[in-house]
Amino acid sequence: MLYKAALRSELSTRLGVSWTPVDKDGVAEVVGVPQALIEQWSARRHELKAVGDELIANREVELGRTLTPNERTECFQIAAYRTRTPKLDADTPTAELRAHWRTEADAWLLGPERWLGDTTNRPTRPAELAAEEVVAEVIVHLEEQSATWGRAKVVEEVSRFVSATTAEEVRECAEVLAERVLADAEVVSLAGPLPAEPPVSLRRRDGMAAVERHGALRFSTRATLRREAAILEGVDAGRDAHAAVVDELTVDRVLADPPLGGDQREAVRGLLTGGEPRRSSRRSGGHGEVARTRRRASRMASRWL
């Protein structure tokens, strides 16, 4: 993410190009490059996605369930191997690379002389978000993605908003913004208590305490912790509610025919006989997902009954 931010800044300074909005992966396109050309040079990505989606669909039919994120990643890795084709490598001379790209662009009637003049020496970009706005937006993004996160993830997120003149300035700006995010009153460190000033013998050369594993410190937000506490309190309060309980004989009859695996049967049985309140909470993230799972199980049972 830092590399992409640095590349954008250097190209903007040297060539005067501007960029489309940066997406969640830190990717932006040079304004003025024809979309048709971008699509042509993204052919392998489209092929990889098509093969990956097919592998995922076949695997889900085979297992009778939705794949986990790790399993989906494995399918796309297999797709990457299957779609790999010989290509120009890092040792190819620059002149040969340029000739290859120009030949392709000319074949598609998208040679640089048709559009290059509109991409360079563009007007100065409008002012970027203020630091306070970046911090607030980054915290929202982090909350949406995960309950906890490390400093590296913060650097990734702030890199999407960094704009500077040189690569070095990008790195420095990202570091400053990351520190501001972690110092925000809404952000909470999940580390255990440590001595305020560890002795020199317990410090590494980078200044961190030797008892802290590098990069292991996790952070969250007060809002996330409040939501988790509300979920836990709701679960605890509903353990003995005995709401909407299906009797064991009916559950056994329902589970006798459907082609479910052992873990799926236990999940359905738990949802139908647990008796916890089926409250839906749009504000509590994981609790909402639990409620949606309960509703799906109930609909399944209704069809089988």
* Domain ranges, ordered by start, for the chain: 34-114, 238-304
Residue 258: C-alpha distances to residues 60, 267, 296, 297 (Å): 16, 14, 15, 12
Q: What is the pLDDT of residue 110?
A: 92
CA distance linking residue 92 with residue 103, whole number of Å: 16
Q: Is the pLDDT of residue 294 over 70?
A: no
Alpha-carbon torsion, ordered 62, 64, 66, 70, to 10 deg: -50
Q: What is the pLDDT of residue 271?
A: 80
Yes or no: say if 251 and 272 are a contact pair by the CB < 8 Å rule. Answer: yes
Q: State the average pLDDT for the chain.
A: 81
Mean pLDDT is lowest, of 154-158, 194-198, 272-276, 283-287, for 283-287
Q: What is the pLDDT of residue 296?
A: 53
Question: Quick check: pTM over 0.85?
Answer: no
Q: Smallest Cα–Cα separation from 172: which of 5, 8, 15? A: 5
- Would you give the distance in Å from CA 201 to the centre of its chain? 39
pLDDT tier, 269 (very low <50, low <70, confident <90, very high otherwise): confident
Q: What is the pLDDT of residue 48?
A: 85
